[in-house]
Amino acid sequence: MCPVVDLPADSSIRRILIIKWSAMGDVVLATALFEDIAQAFPDREIHLDTQPAWRDLLFADDPRFRRILAVDWSRRTNRPGQVLTWLRQVRSTDYDLIIDLQCNDRSRFLLALLRLSGHRVRYLLGNRRRLPYDIAPQEPALPAHAITRNRAALAAGGIRGLTPRPVLHVADRHRARAQELMKRCGLVPGNYGVFLPGCNASGHLKRWGAARYASLAGQLHLAGVARIVLIGGPDEIDECRQIAGLCGQWLVNLCGQTGILDIPPICESASFVVGNDTGTAHVAAMTTTPMTIICGPTDPRRVKPLGDNVTTLQADLPCINCYRKTCSHHSCMAVLTPMEVLQHVQKAID
């Protein structure tokens, strides 16, 4: 067992940097950890190092962060320039504690360079027991959910994991926008469901399929659900259009019409949410609305959104969790029938 360092009790820690880049779903999932850190250090100055897109879409109004650093690591040009920019940004502030929630080769390399450059940071916390971290836990058995690994890292620093679901700060303008959409579309709180039927284009095998979603929507409508709402981004417009074309006027297609932070207020008034393994599911998971996530090629033990209101559904096949990008049969999704998903959803909301 590794000894626990009680970082919150160290009053000399005044400035903290949290590192989390990655995909949107992973960053949203990590907001529960951001909240744990903010609660543990209520009177300290906290900065966030994330991607420019998430700075603008997710954290522009977040009061937890005094400053947001953002180097666009998604751009694969001028890596030396990006590294120098990152070092310059981090060296401009005297951080007492850096919490690395990314913990990949790049973040470890950058933190090692930071130390080699002579910049002193008293504590470096990560989820792996290797350089350059001062504080890290015993590594859990794999596969482990990212939240499990990073909560173990925070616990090694005496930071308690208490937050049950993602925490995003939704500004009044987003709530007003959601209310406007709900009123325009005739959405009555408690009498509509939300589908998140897409995912990014590169992960198309994670999609259950337009025809199956349309069939499920029809069965739910016959069971008394007044409206089904489709939500998604630019990569999912065609998928949602196909579903809408197979359903009646009771289906509301909002794909491409919502901002990221418009989604939680719409989902919190719904009676249920059904979705694929997609980033918007993690955004919706900040609500307590019952949610069913359909998994196939990705492992629900690793990708499930956070919250006791979230359940996953996956076929019992030898090829599940393959994480492939191409497949000739897509059996993991094909064998999950709309009736099976309907029964799962009805059980979740009972």
| Structural domain spans, the chain | 7-156, 172-349
CA dist., res. 17 & res. 49, Å (int): 7
263 touches 280 (CB < 8 A): yes
pTM of this structure: 0.94
Residue 90 to residues 67, 80, 84, 119: CA-CA distances in angstroms?
A: 11, 16, 10, 9
Decide if pLDDT at 179 tops 50: yes
Report the pLDDT value the prediction gives residue 201, as an integer from 0 to 100.
81
Decide if pLDDT at 285 tops 90: yes
As a whole-number percent, the residues of the chain with pLDDT over 70 amount to: 98
Report the pLDDT value the prediction gives residue 175, as an integer from 0 to 100.
97
Report the pLDDT value the prediction gives residue 203, as an integer from 0 to 100.
87
Fold match, 7-156 / 172-349: yes
What fold characterizes domain 172-349? Rossmann fold (3.40.50)
**In 3D, which of 57, 53, 114, 67 has the Cα closest to residue 86?**
114
Average confidence (pLDDT) over 291-306: 95
> Residue type at 240?
C
106 touches 74 (CB < 8 A): no
Instruction: Give 77's pLDDT tier (boundaries 50, 70, 90).
Output: confident
Give the three-class secondary structure for 112: helix
What fold characterizes domain 7-156? Rossmann fold (3.40.50)
Range 277-301 burial, b when 16+ CB lie within 10 A, else e: bbbbbbbbbbbebbbbbbbbbbbbe
Strands across the sheet with 45-50, in order?
A: 67-70, 45-50, 15-19, 97-100, 123-125
pLDDT digits (tens, 9 = 90+) for 115-163: 999 999 999 999 988 889 999 998 665 556 788 889 999 999 999 999 9
